[in-house]
Structure 1
Amino acid sequence: MQALSSSAVLQLFGFLIGLSSSLDPRDPNACSLWESYTTSVKESYSHPYDHVTEEPCSDPRTSYRCSRHRITYKTAYRQAVKTEHRRRYHCCPGYYESGGRCVPHCSKECVHGRCVAPNRCQCEKGWRGDDCSSSCDDRHWGPDCQKECKCENGALCDPVRGVCQCPPGFIGRLCEDSCPAGTFGKGCQQRCKCGNGGSCNKATGECTCQKGFTGTFCAKTCKGSCQPRCPCQNEGRCKGNGVCACLAGWTGAICTEQCPEGRFGKNCSEECVCHNGAKCDPLTGRCQCREGFTGNRWVWRKVWDVFRRHCTKL
């Protein structure tokens, strides 16, 4: 049998330790399951007793006596086995117990940083990379930072692999290409909503209207000199000087960017606590469960074969 990886061993150990310890149920990274167990109990029952008496027989011509049976019941006691159920708390996948709390596990050590979520490091100032081990600046990468980053349009280089991380509005291996017409944003994944011949800012999606039109999406007509318009999209509110106050679930200069994966709420300031591949609603933070999962944080119904019983909502 192939040996388990150190990461799998650590998570399995943390899971089993969590089953036997007292985790705080309010810990956002604690999951629960129901388990059955047996106890020996003393139970009462009605035990029948047969009372036998002798009485004159019904035939008066004989002197024989006949036996009469009368059944009575008395309370008796016996040992029995009773099945009970109890809820057990353990750390959700990607977390392990430490000091009574569920803390995230990073398969790679965060060399110059700390583990803030499963396999996600937060680096100290001056350090970069998935494991915070690179001291390369924005324009260099590789061993000893000897390789020069060739990314264009302000794109940053991954300090280990050298892959370009394109800013909104650009695509391509070196981020050399602007978004195609009608698209904008990170990876050019969003569609431009400007009407009446208006053009879209490739990075933010803000509309530039043709003469005679105004409004967020250039949908209103105007004569002569058009009044200043609010560029905020997705029901964002203009605060003046081109600053937008975005609704929960949205961010960006004019509120065109949904919260990135793992974040939700106003200004995307809240961190999601969904597990087992569940997606987080960027507005409310509610987990959108995959098939085979349930619960407020989508606890797995089948926590390994040994614990396949009654996983329930937290």
Structure 2
Amino acid sequence: MCQPVCERSCVKGKCVGPDKCSCSTGYAGPRCDEDVNECGFVERPCSHRCMNTHGSYRCYCEPGYTLSADGYTCTREAACSSLRCQFGCQMEMGGAVRCLCPPGLHLAADSKSCEDDDECRRGAGVCRPRRTCRNTFGSFVCVCRGGFVMGTLNGAARCRDEDECLIGSHRCSRHAQCVNTDGSHTCRCSEGYYGNGRACRPARASRSRARMYFDYKLSKRTKPRRPSSR
């Protein structure tokens, strides 16, 4: 039985044709690796507040309301008003009520306000290679590391190498050559100069002033004398 082949894997979906992906709900893009922001739709899926998550979304209510069993609508509850939650509350099974925090936040010690979860503490696997994690309140973003800039490749966003030598953002000496590397660059002094590449001096200037003074005094001592005339 023949199976469709996709040279680039479908991250959140399945291959349905030659290099064609069918994305799972909540994802889009040629490789199904782009999150769909359901909260940005014209017809908002939540009756009160909406928080986008990776591949999905979550509804939560204004203070004084509780999230219904359908997960979308909010209803007023007298018990919620008494809790004075920062974002809203939810009715648990058995009639108990507790404060509710959006994704990316957790309940503080007072069980009313919400504190941020630092997703960047999970480690290097949070973001793709060449990107670094930057925490935000309730979420995080992956930005290009130093030496890389955002660009597009085959319709997808990628962090590509920034050629500091080409755009002139390097700090090499005018007597040095700039050599681009992946994510950085190096400076090499030109022939006839020495130094670390950012500061280059003529090779002949390597003699210290003390050495030059010594050579001068030595030349005075060894200077031939003229024969005296009688």
Do they superpose with TM above 0.5?
no
Structure with more of its chain in helix, by fraction? 2
Q: Which one has a bigger Cα radius of gyration? A: 1
TM norm structure 1: 0.23
